Chains A and B, each alone.
Chain A
Amino acid sequence: MPGPGHPMRGPRGAKPKIENPGKLFRRLMGYVLKNYTPHVIIVVICIFVGVFANIQGTLFMQTLIDSYIVPLLGIENPDFSGLAHAIFRVACFYAIGVLSSYLYNRIMINVSQGTMRNIRSEMFNKMESLPIKYFDTHPHGDIMSRYTNDIDTLRQMISQSMPQCLNSAITIVSVLISMIVLSVPLTITTLVMVSIMLFITKKATGLSGKYFVAQQKSIGAVNGFVEEMIEGQKVVKVFCHEQESMERFNELNEELFESAYNANQFANMLGPINSQLGNLSYVMCAIVGGMLALGNIGGLTLGGLASFLSFNKSFNMPINQVSMQFNSIVMALAGADRIFKMLDEEPEADNGYVSLVNAEEVNGELKETQKHTGMWAWKHYHKDSDTTTYQRLEGGVVFDDVDFGYTDEKIVLHNIKMFAEPGQKIAFVGSTGAGKTTITNLINRFYDIQDGKIRYDNINVNKIKKADLRRSLGIVLQDTHLFTATVMENIRYGKLDATDAEVIAAAKLANAHEFIEKLPDGYNTLLTGDGANLSQGQRQLLAIARAAIADPPALILDEATSSIDTRTEKIVQDGMDKLMKGRTTFVIAHRLSTVKNSDCIMVLEQGRIIERGTHDELIEAQGKYYQLYTGNAIAAN
């Protein structure tokens, strides 16, 4: 029985196409067996035992009638002790059957939930290791549906479909054998009826499948329309467009009704077809069996007929079940396919070997230490001379003729050359899409470049361990992302072992302290939904505080363009300025004040640096920057 919250997934919808289902299935079984081989073995044994016990019970009908009822008929003072004994024997079988059924269902919980847990963890761990590119190229909804829909169908398959299929298969085989033993002609009658049933079911499924595809399309159309219109409902109101919107909706709704009606009708028919044809099969057997028993052909006794009729009932049920479960297995395999595809993605490559270590200065020489000295050094191992050198972390960045494209075919940044001395502030200005954000994403290797070199403290960034490289670079993104946690924990994200006092100090530096104090629970206020309960400006202040606590030597700042009111903006600005002090900073600037006191301003256009220099130099040059600055910019492009 499915748990609540998971309405039964009927045999609905078009069957998804999957390649190589056998391989997928084996891989999936591999996951199950990896941790649960003994469990699975016990489950299989239990299923066998359960089926066997059940068949013993059905066969008992024959013994009951032929050995204990018919012979005793008409006898005075009949002796029931034999019957009592037989019943006791069957009771034992039944008890074993019930026990094994409980056992296998109980064990299956561990197997299916455990496997789900492992796959989920593996998926998440994999996801965390994937390059940013993966997230750029896969819609987030798609990624999420692997954790929700796909995992759910998989759970359904492992916990229900697979054991049920196994159970049904064993039942079918053993019932078939028992039936043949009881009576060959009756078995043939049953099989003929079953084939008719399967044939008709297949036809009906085909028909309903066709209509379900149509229904799926109509649902898509209605949902798409509803989403779009409800999203713009206020615009609909302002333009008094209600009537038109309603007319179009009614058309789509009517189409959906038609296809849903047809699809449901045929799907509904499967039930009665199966059960009534099953009854018909039962009736046919009763008639044929009656004839056989009467003519005493093939040694069919009354008890034999009774048992056979029971078998007939228990033969139809598993066949229906297998055909129903088959559909959900196909669906689950499609889900498994999507999950495995994600698990097979290449993780972010990292061939760096230069690492970042705490350092201290002893007699004018850098030494590695375990202590938190606040001083960091690059530990550089040279293979050829088998020596290790230490170099102080300072935060100088050099771009040497860098080309970059998100794909090899389309280069978006061309010949980028620039250098930032430690402590300098470099500003990027230029139109949307000119490549400002892209450049900053290259420094911390969110993306790898096609050509040229990027050096950090004179070390090629490819040689630095990615984790260490990123740890040495602070970043404040344009879109602030916060996590579901308290304000305190969100700031601490920048330095996990920071004390409360450190967090507060960072918040003060970022000008965030004041508003945090005013929140209902101060630093312990729980943020949810990406900080939905905060204003845009407040979220930015938290992001700045988060970067401040990490205290990195170099910083990448993406100023927010979104309109926050002037006062908050000033506070944010001030916080950013304090953070930038004494650090190498790359800032994607939208405000003049940020740009003006930069050591160097890069003006970007279509992926190229077209002007560079200080504010005064660029104003004098009267080029693009001058146009932007004086507000006389004619719209670019």
Chain B
Amino acid sequence: MIMLKVLGAQIKEFKKDSILTPVFMILEVIMEMIIPLLMASIIDDGVNAGNLNHIYKVGGVMIVMALIGLWAGLMGAKFGARASTGFARNLRKAMYENIQTFSFSNIDKYSTSSLITRLTTDVTNMQNSYQMVLRMAMRAPASMITAMVMAFSINARLASIYLVAVIFLAICISFILPRANTYFRQVFEKYDDLNASVQENVSAIRVVKAYVREDYEKDKFAKANQNIYNMFLKAEKLVVINMPLMQATVYSCILLISWLGAKTIVAGGLTTGEMMSLLTYCMNILMSLMMVSMIIVMLSMSYASAKRIAEVLTERTDLSNPENPAEDVRDGSIVFHNVSFSYNKDSKPVLNNINLDIKSGETIGIIGGTGSAKSSLVNLISRLYDVTSGELLVGGLDVRKYDMEALRNQVAVVLQKNVLFSGTILENLRWGNKEASEEECIRACKLACADEFIQKMPDKYNTYIEQGGTNVSGGQKQRLCIARTLLKKPRILILDDSTSAVDTATDAKIRKAFAEEIPDTTKLIIAQRVSSVQNADRIIVMDNGIVTAFGTHDELLKTSPIYSEVYESQTGGNADFDQNGGDN
């Protein structure tokens, strides 16, 4: 119910259309249902009575009815389309707007692909369901009820046959459909599994071929395939009863009406025309019933979509701006004071009691194994997540007291999983600063060692970057991302493993440029390579969510066993023979 309310709130300006659609649909149905009644009049008072005039007159009325029905139908088509597509538009808009307010932890909760599905497929499902509800879900029962009323008005005794038939069919359908539904759900699950395994084969085809496992895979597939065949058979065997059942019911009604009708006519209780109308209504009533059952099935299918959409719409961001937020970050100093952090209230903390004091303008290296919470540590600084306990000061003020946009513009992060967007290089760079001149962009690129490869591209800074940055190499992408961030001219610059695909030489050049060109900016550099951090002013060694050591390279070599182990392994016989020079 809450779900319906959340979704319903998005109908907004299409309320009028949403109300008019069923109104017109019902009007159409009524027109349609009056026609057989008039037909009886043509037969009885026209043909049987030998009154040609009556035929013309009633015939004329029928034509008008059909035309009104046509008009109402077209109107219903129009308003229905408007209401449903408008509703879909509003849903998309509301979801998208809400997603923009999501914090990192909100985003983490949903996978990217699931958010995309919600915005696309699920909305389309809702659009179709809503249109069906407005048009068919009103029309079908209305048609059934009107036909039933008409039938009863002709002859209640004969019409009661339909009532029995409807109840009989409804019971049968309600017996068959839920069972078939369960079977189908099982089949489609298996079906998805089968497709997943095909997918697996496609992406791992080299493994399959390298191990000569083609026949093994074929056997595996054939078995799963046969299994699905059997399950489909089981499910469809059940559904297939529907059609003949419906036919049998219709036929039985026709025969019963013919038998009893003929007797009643002869006895004078019914006219021939009326009996013909009754037979026409038979089709209408039972077809509508079938329609209703189909609508129920389809609506139940879109329930999952509705739920997923409502989930996004009701998700509330867990970060908000304070009252009277500070707009200016005074300097680039960072202080962690007893900071602990966990991604969920219930899960165990990933950062434990962190205390750090970083001066403005310092270059800090951060090193540690995967899962040691390096990224978590730096993500707190620009308030991408909130600390669970303790406090974190930037420029001498708690990060929670800043305006979030102002903070993030002055504490710039180059994310580990970074993306470029489709557009020219310049457009991408200007994400950092909308007003940046071309000269400024070029300067940033020079700093990030990106200018050298951009100049070699045919269209230089106007080179078009494909979606996902597929037409530049990993190292080039990283350098563009760094340049983009530099354009923000931040007080604090955080590089989260942002040069992993850049070769060592270029990596060194970038660091040198930073030291010379932006000396006042506080720089935090997360890296796997010791060479990337060893010249930093100080180095943080993380392990398992705690800072195990914090000092200069020389100090750490003496005091930190973890650091010296990493250093040894990378510079001794196990040095990283990195080979990404071809990126340029």
Let me know if B152 is at the binding interface, CB within 8 A.
Answer: no
Contact B262 A69 (CB under 8 A): yes
Contact A432 B115 (CB under 8 A): no
User: Which of B163-171, B227-235, B349-357, B438-446 lies at the binding interface?
Assistant: B227-235
Q: Which residues of B contact A5 (CB under 8 A)?
A: 184-185, 188, 301
Question: For the complex, what is the distance from the CA of A231 to the CA of B422, rounded to whole Å?
Answer: 12
Let me know if B221 is at the binding interface, CB within 8 A.
Answer: yes
Contact A4 B301 (CB under 8 A): yes
| A234 CB contact (under 8 Å) in B80, B229, B415 | B415
Q: Which residues of B contact A7 (CB under 8 A)?
A: 125, 128, 298, 301
Let me know if B55 is at the binding interface, CB within 8 A.
Answer: yes
Q: Which residues of A contact B74 (CB under 8 A)?
A: 269, 272-273
Let me know if A185 is at the binding interface, CB within 8 A.
Answer: no
Let me know if A515 is at the binding interface, CB within 8 A.
Answer: no
Task: Give, as a whole number of angstroms, the nearest-CB distance from A140 to chain B.
Answer: 5
Known pairs A121-B221, A481-B203; A241 contacts B431 (CB<8 A)? yes
Main SS class of interface, A: helix
Question: For the complex, what is the distance from the CA of A262 to the CA of B56, rounded to whole Å?
Answer: 39
Q: Which residue, B180, B266, B294, has most C-beta atoms of chain A within 10 A?
A: B266
Contact A3 B235 (CB under 8 A): yes
Contact B92 A496 (CB under 8 A): no
Let me know if B584 is at the binding interface, CB within 8 A.
Answer: yes
| B405 CB contact (under 8 Å) in A240, A481, A568, A633 | A240
Let me know if A405 is at the binding interface, CB within 8 A.
Answer: no
- Would you list 20 pairs from A and B whose C-beta atoms are within 8 A, ordered by A residue? A7-B301, A61-B276, A124-B218, A127-B202, A144-B199, A231-B419, A234-B417, A239-B432, A271-B73, A272-B69, A272-B73, A279-B35, A287-B59, A290-B42, A291-B55, A302-B48, A484-B197, A565-B369, A565-B370, A635-B452
Question: For the complex, what is the distance from the CA of A481 to the CA of B209, rounded to whole Å?
Answer: 12
Let me know if B576 is at the binding interface, CB within 8 A.
Answer: yes
Q: Which residues of A contact B131 (CB under 8 A)?
A: 264, 268
Let me know if B324 is at the binding interface, CB within 8 A.
Answer: no
Known pairs A117-B225, A593-B574; A94 contacts B497 (CB<8 A)? no
Known pairs A7-B298, A80-B262; A590 contacts B577 (CB<8 A)? yes
Known pairs A64-B262, A127-B201; A306 contacts B210 (CB<8 A)? no
Let me know if B310 is at the binding interface, CB within 8 A.
Answer: no
Residue total for B at the interface (Cβ-Cβ under 8 A) = 175
A-contacting residues, B253-311, CB 8 Å: 254-255, 258-259, 262-263, 265-266, 272, 276, 279-280, 283, 294, 297-298, 300-301
Q: Which residues of B contact A254 (CB under 8 A)?
A: 89
Total A-B residue contacts, Cβ distance less than 8 Å:
463
Let me know if B248 is at the binding interface, CB within 8 A.
Answer: yes
Contact with A along B119-130 (1 / 0, CB 8 A): 110000101100
Q: Which residue, B255, B569, B577, B583, has most C-beta atoms of chain A within 10 A?
A: B577
Task: Give, as a whole number of angstroms, the nearest-CB distance from B91 to chain A.
Answer: 10
How many residues of A sit at the interface, in one of the four size bands?
A: 35 or more
Main SS class of interface, B: helix
Contact B104 A234 (CB under 8 A): yes
Question: For the complex, what is the distance from the CA of A628 to the CA of B503, rounded to whole Å?
Answer: 10
Contact B78 A1 (CB under 8 A): no
Contact A246 B97 (CB under 8 A): yes
Let me know if A461 is at the binding interface, CB within 8 A.
Answer: no
Contact B298 A565 (CB under 8 A): no
Let me know if B458 is at the binding interface, CB within 8 A.
Answer: no
Let me know if A382 is at the binding interface, CB within 8 A.
Answer: no
Contact with A along B216-248 (1 / 0, CB 8 A): 111001100110110011011101111110011
Contact A240 B198 (CB under 8 A): no
A-contacting residues, B484-500, CB 8 Å: 484, 488, 497, 500
Contact B217 A128 (CB under 8 A): yes
Known pairs A232-B419, A271-B73, A283-B62; A240 contacts B255 (CB<8 A)? no
